[in-house]
């Protein structure tokens, strides 16, 4: 087994290349759309159409978001990573996190997007958009206060035989990471993050 050291300038060029590709792809997906909700739904639909579940028995590759896009498949957290990264590049801040129950296998990956000032909730892997009967996106606070709404919206979808309400009841406390994971793919936010880390400033 040999170890190959990648020069820093090669890493830097790769970082800038990925940033440019994310920005280009995000623009292609949303086009002239201006509303937060329109962009969120467009990126959600694109992710569902282009990032398929990893086939059974295939290796799970921990990789850059761009490589997941090129490959065209991924596991649940990778689907969420693609969705939230591209959505953040459209100007709608987004991130994902796992919601875990006591059973180590009982875990749900949820994505959150700041749509018009409210954190809307999505489950990319299971094709669930949390919205009311009128199609209005439901935010974290609403779902945390009334977890049973998730069961109504998801219908027959079960996670290890458990309803969504079991997971949605754990949405609180809800904290937004700073910076967002997707923002660390962008040159200036990444620079400031690394600088703060280097000099010991907590954000």
pLDDT per residue as tens digits for the range 133-143? 999 999 999 99
Distance CA 47, CA 62 (A): 18
Q: Is residue 2 part of a domain?
A: no
pLDDT for 68 beyond 90: yes
Residue 58 has a pLDDT of 85
For the chain, state the CA radius of gyration: 18
3 is a domain residue: no
Closest CA relative to residue 160, chosen from 83, 104, 201, 88: 104
Full-model pTM = 0.89
The answer to whether residue 102 is domain-embedded is yes
Q: What CATH number corresponds to the domain at position 186? A: 3.10.620
- How many domains is the chain built from? 1
State how far the Cα of 95 lies from the Cα of 112, in Å rounded to an integer.
Answer: 5
Task: Round to whole Å and give the CA distance between 93 and 127.
Answer: 20
């Amino acid at each position: 087994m040999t170890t190959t050291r990648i020069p820093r300038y090669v890493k830097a060029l790769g970082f800038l290349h990925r940033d440019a590709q994310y920005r280009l792809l995000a623009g292609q997906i949303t086009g002239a759309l201006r509303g937060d909700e329109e962009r969120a739904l467009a990126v959600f639909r694109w992710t569902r159409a282009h990032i398929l579940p990893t086939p059974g028995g295939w290796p799970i590759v921990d990789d850059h978001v761009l490589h997941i896009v090129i490959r065209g498949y991924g596991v649940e957290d990778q689907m969420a990573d693609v969705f939230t990264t591209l959505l953040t590049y459209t100007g709608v801040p987004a991130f994902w996190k796992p919601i875990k129950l006591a059973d180590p296998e009982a875990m749900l990956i949820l994505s959150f997007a700041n749509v018009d000032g409210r954190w809307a909730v999505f489950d990319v892997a299971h094709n669930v958009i949390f919205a009311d009967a009128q199609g209005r996106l439901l935010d974290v606070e609403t779902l945390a206060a009334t977890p049973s709404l998730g069961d109504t919206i998801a219908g027959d979808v079960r996670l290890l035989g458990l309803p969504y309400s079991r997971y949605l009841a754990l949405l609180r406390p809800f904290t937004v990471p700073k910076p967002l994971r997707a923002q660390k793919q962008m040159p200036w936010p990444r620079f400031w993050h690394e600088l703060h880390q280097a000099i010991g400033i907590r954000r």
